[in-house]
Amino acid sequence: MSALQLLWFILIAVLFIGFFFLEGFDFGVGMATRVLAKNDDDRESLIATIGPHWDGNEVWLITAGGAMFASFPLWYASLFSGYYILLFLTLCALIFRGVSFEFSANAETAGGRRFWYWALCIGSTVAPFLLGMMFTSLIQGLPMDKNGDIFAGLWDNVNLLSIVGGVAVTLLCLIHGLNFIRLKIDGNLRDRARNLVEKLYWVLFAGEVVFAILLFIFTDFFKERPISTLLLLVLIVALSAISMYCAYADHEGWGFITSGLTLGSIVILLFNGLFPRVLIADNPAHSLLIKDASASPYTLKIMTIVACILLPIMLAYFIWSFFIFKRRVKASA
Amino acid sequence: MALMSIGVLSLARWQFAMTTVFHFFFVPFSIGMAFVVAIMETMYVVKKDETYKKMAQFWGKIFLLSFAVGVVTGIIQEFQFGMNWSNYSRFMGDIFGAPLAIEALLAFFMESVFIGVWMFTWNRFKPAVHVWFIWLTMIGSMCSAIWILAANSFMQHPTGFAINQATGRVKMTSFGAIIANPQLWKVFPHVITGAILTAATVVVGIAAFGLLRKHNHDFFKKSMRIGLWVSLFAAVAVIVAGDFQTQQIIKDQPMKFAATEGVYKDTGKSAPWTVIASFDTDKHETKSSIEIPKVLSLLAYHKTTGSVQGMNSLNQELHAKYDKKFGADMNYYVPVKTVFWSFRVMAGGAALLLLTSILGLIFTRKNKNTIENKRWLLWVLGICTYTPFVFNSAGWLITELGRYPWLVYGLQTIADGVSPTTTAGQLWFTNIVYFLMFSLMGAVMVFYSRKIMIKGPDDDGAGYGATANNDPFSKEAFGR
């Protein structure tokens, strides 16, 4: 494995961490339009908190996919063809919630608005659930042949670990979204978000324990990398504990940051367990390795140069755009 | 098994065609709209006339609708290469992934961030600052066109690569050569001018419908004037750019060119242009046709002489060249009828829009301003709203079907690129759902655009909430 291969493996992880940190709260706000909002005014205020950001946040996913294609084409090809139906349904969810922002603002009838609000909520719930499912199913050892073709059946996609993983990611996104709402809105909705998020942390802890046990049973993480896996699990629990403490103590900013980092550290846990593989086959000889799956050294070099130039510029205006919209959204009465 | 795999291939091709065509309804429109709206807002900054601000905001609403649909249908495209065409992705990954990643990193972030800022900061920045956000959005969207076309141009005319002998896959040898691909710099201007023509035509058309409804008269007429000028220049430019692109195609993909003009047999010294024709695609011959002498030489070489090679002899050449690698039973004839007629739709369409722009400009000129009495013309302009989407699709059909039977010209056939894991059942399911979803979204898009037109520019609209004046990232959020 070359240094550039390792770098790009880490960079893909970073892009997914960015995606879950950012789009994670978008998903959470989308779910909150049902579980938190009581009427359309509430919903409008909630949507306003992510209105300027959701599109840019989603680009992290597109960039992660593109970067995976560029740096590890074999990984990209096997993963995307192997998770055909899950990814297709994820796309449907992303499409419906993506257009719902514009369409609900243009809908004039109550029925039209209701339809697009539901699309937003369902899309925002289903997308993180399916992505969580995909990431927790692909660490279990897939029926993959030596060409990297994955012939996964339903039960490879849908099983105990992947369902728990999907639910955990969805729940974390909701918590993260509620923390974001507490930061970005004032009045009644802010208080209600506080009350709800406090309860959800207890469910999250239960979920994390179950997840850790299932990880031990269903994956080879504890066999392959016992110490780092254990440390990362401790980190995940510690971060969610800090996040919960902040939620109770009304340190809204830190609560938000730590719930995002919790999501991020789950991504680290998965990538750490995958390493040095990118896809785990049920027959270890067929597993796809970092050293075999990558693009040529020349392409990696070009992409590294490009990323070094473009990433800082992109991050600068990306962060600037959050600075522009740092004020709270006016809540409905 | 054989039948099943044919099914998968056709279904995957159908899906690619359907999703890209639908995506490509909105992409050129959004690129062009960003340009038109940017012009309007710039006029507001320069002339300090509130009408232009209203204009930018009004047309901006329709732009945002289309942008949203363009974004979400774009994610399908990126996923689709892996999902349906995994062997293509493996074969081409070393080349194809890089432009996609750069497109996301450079262009998608730029357009999505600045469009978000643009939407919500009308009252926060001075007009002279705010206008930059729409220009940056436009630059971002045009950059995205460069990178995706760089990827596509490689498929049409591979440059800067070698075959990795160990794996049999394509390997990048020169990033510079991929960017400098002559195809790219011929197709990019054609696509961009086509995009601007699309948006301008829609602005003119919606304004025409507005005038027919006899409200907001001045507003729609002013918008129409801007739209007409833009569409006039864009129509001329798209034709010129198309001509440049044709020169390149004659060189790189003579089969594609022969098919767009329906030439089976090599022509004589001075080639006649076939206006319309009927073909026998089994016998590979033209059944009957209407021809104009010398015009094809004129189109191809800009002079009255010069022969054009026909598909029959090109087919033999291609067999001689590729039989060793791909076998003798390859069919190198592209789908002639579709390509031939698509070209006529596209080129005729550009001519039509050029004509309507001129007519519109004549009847809206300052001293003889009679367009509101020319209801026939308003109807024509109104109906033209829908046409550029057809012309754009026709252009893509030529580009993509004209590449047949190659996925990557001369390197990989379409049949070799499809995912071995995907089943016909999966593809039927996803095709049907996509189709229903696209129908719904297209209908809603048209419906809401019409609503926006009827409500006119003075409607503030619901939109998202406004922002109040306290800062959540102040100290109180991080501890007390």
Q: Are residues B317 and B351 in the same domain?
A: no
- Taking only residues 187 to 246 of chain A, the set having a beta carbon closer than 8 angstroms to any beta carbon of chain B reads none
Instruction: Report the candidate in B103, B112, B101, B92 with the shortest Cα–Cα distance to residue A15.
Output: B101
Query: Residue B476 has what pLDDT?
Result: 57
CB–CB of B408/B170 below 8 Å? Answer: yes
Nearest CA to CA, how far is B22 from chain A (Å)?
A: 13
Query: Residue B475 has what pLDDT?
Result: 53
The two beta strands, B161-163 and A288-289, are unpaired
Q: Using a CB–CB cutoff of 8 Å, tell me whether B77 touches chain A.
A: no
With a cut of 80, say whether residue A311 has pLDDT above it.
yes
Query: Reduced to 3 states, what is the DSSP secondary structure of residue A97?
Result: helix
Q: Which of A55, A147, A327 is facing B468, going by the closest CB pair?
A: A327
Query: Residue A152 has what pLDDT?
Result: 85
With a cut of 60, say whether residue B464 has pLDDT above it.
no
With a cut of 90, say whether residue A27 has pLDDT above it.
yes
Q: Percent helix, strand and coil across chain B, each rounded to 5?
A: 70, 5, 20
Query: Residue B474 has what pLDDT?
Result: 52
With a cut of 70, say whether residue A161 has pLDDT above it.
yes
C-alpha torsion sign, points B203, B207, B210, B216: positive
Residues B330-353 have a mean pLDDT of 94
Nearest CA to CA, how far is B363 from chain A (Å)?
A: 34
Kindly report, residue by residue over A271-303, the tens digit of the pLDDT: 999 999 999 999 999 999 999 999 999 999 999
Q: Do B467 and A73 touch (CB under 8 A)?
A: no
Q: Using a CB–CB cutoff of 8 Å, tell me whether A181 touches chain B.
A: no
Please tell me the distance from the alpha carbon of residue A113 to that of residue A117, in angstroms, as a whole number.
6
Q: Domain ends where: B299, B334, B369?
A: B334
Q: Are residues B307 and B216 in the same domain?
A: no
Q: Are residues B366 and B384 in the same domain?
A: yes
List residues bridging with B276 in a β-sheet: B290
Q: Are residues B191 and B326 in the same domain?
A: no
Query: Reduced to 3 states, what is the DSSP secondary structure of residue B327?
Result: coil
CA neighbours within 13 Å on the CB side: how many for B146? 15
Residue range of the domain that includes B281: 254-334
Nearest CA to CA, how far is A303 from chain B (Å)?
A: 7
Q: Are residues B161 and B119 in the same domain?
A: yes
With a cut of 60, say whether residue A81 has pLDDT above it.
yes
How far is the CA of B242 from the CAs of A123, B377, B398, in angstroms? 41, 27, 12
B-chain residues near A326 (CB < 8 A): 471-473
Give B408: exposed, middle or buried? Use CB within 10 Å, 0-12, 13-18, 19+.
Answer: buried
Q: Which of A82, A250, A306 is facing B421, going by the closest CB pair?
A: A82
Q: What is the average pLDDT score of chain B?
A: 90
Find the closest chain A residue to B112 by CA distance: A56
The H-or-E segment that residue A308 falls in is helix A297-324
Q: Are residues B291 and B371 in the same domain?
A: no
Q: Using a CB–CB cutoff of 8 Å, tell me whether A163 touches chain B.
A: no
Nearest CA to CA, how far is A97 from chain B (Å)?
A: 9
Q: Using a CB–CB cutoff of 8 Å, tell me whether B421 touches chain A.
A: yes
Q: Domain ends where: B334, B349, B384?
A: B334
Q: Is residue B472 part of a domain?
A: no
Kindly report, residue by residue over B194-222, the tens digit of the pLDDT: 999 999 999 999 999 999 988 888 899 99
Q: Which of B95, B109, B468 is facing A56, going by the closest CB pair?
A: B109
Instruction: Report the candidate in B145, B197, B189 with the shortest Cα–Cα distance to residue B35.
Output: B197
Which value does ipTM take for this structure? 0.94
How far is the CA of B52 from the CAs of A87, A323, B38, B41, in angstroms? 44, 29, 11, 6
Query: Reduced to 3 states, what is the DSSP secondary structure of residue A99?
Result: helix
In this prediction, what percent of chain B has a pLDDT beyond 90?
A: 75
With a cut of 60, say whether residue B463 has pLDDT above it.
no
Kindly report, residue by residue over A130-155, the tens digit of the pLDDT: 999 999 999 998 999 998 999 988 88
Q: Are residues B243 and B264 in the same domain?
A: no
Domain ranges of chain A: 3-324
Residue type, B21: V
The 8-class DSSP code of residue B272 comes to P
Q: Are residues B323 and B429 in the same domain?
A: no
Query: Residue A78 has what pLDDT?
Result: 95
Q: Do B464 and A47 touch (CB under 8 A)?
A: yes
Q: Do B97 and A79 touch (CB under 8 A)?
A: no
- Taking only residues 241 to 280 of chain A, the set having a beta carbon closer than 8 angstroms to any beta carbon of chain B reads 249-254
Kindly report, residue by residue over B225-258, the tens digit of the pLDDT: 999 999 999 999 999 999 999 999 999 999 999 9
Q: Do B109 and A318 touch (CB under 8 A)?
A: yes
Q: What contacts B458, CB < 8 A, 6 or more positions away?
A: B54, B216
CB–CB of A175/A204 below 8 Å? Answer: yes
Better-predicted residue by pLDDT, B477 or B79: B79
Kindly report, residue by residue over B49-92, the tens digit of the pLDDT: 999 999 999 999 999 999 999 999 999 999 999 999 999 999 99
Q: Domain ends where: B278, B300, B334?
A: B334
Q: Are residues B221 and B196 in the same domain?
A: yes
**How many structural domains compose chain B?**
2
Q: Using a CB–CB cutoff of 8 Å, tell me whether A305 touches chain B.
A: no
Residues B104-132 have a mean pLDDT of 93
The 8-class DSSP code of residue B288 comes to E
The crossing angle, in degrees rounded to 10, of helices B50-84 and B182-212 is: 130
Q: Are residues B171 and B268 in the same domain?
A: no
Give chain A's count of helices (H) and strands (E): 14, 2
Find the closest chain B residue to A183 by CA distance: B472
Kindly report, residue by residue over B258-279, the tens digit of the pLDDT: 999 999 999 888 889 999 999 9
Query: Residue B477 has what pLDDT?
Result: 61
With a cut of 50, say whether residue B468 has pLDDT above it.
no
Which of B11, B57, B65, B86 to mutate to probe the A interface, most A CBs <10 Å?
A: B86
With a cut of 70, say whether residue B153 has pLDDT above it.
yes
Q: Are residues B114 and B236 in the same domain?
A: yes
Q: Using a CB–CB cutoff of 8 Å, tell me whether A89 touches chain B.
A: no
Query: Reduced to 3 states, what is the DSSP secondary structure of residue A219?
Result: coil
Q: Using a CB–CB cutoff of 8 Å, tell me whether A131 touches chain B.
A: no
- Taking only residues 426 to 465 of chain B, the set having a beta carbon closer than 8 angstroms to any beta carbon of chain A reads 426, 429-430, 433, 437, 441, 444, 448, 451-452, 461-465
Task: Name the pLDDT band for B455 (thresholds 50, 70, 90).
Answer: confident
Kindly report, residue by residue over A85-127, the tens digit of the pLDDT: 999 999 999 999 999 999 998 888 889 999 999 999 999 999 9
Q: Are residues B289 and B235 in the same domain?
A: no
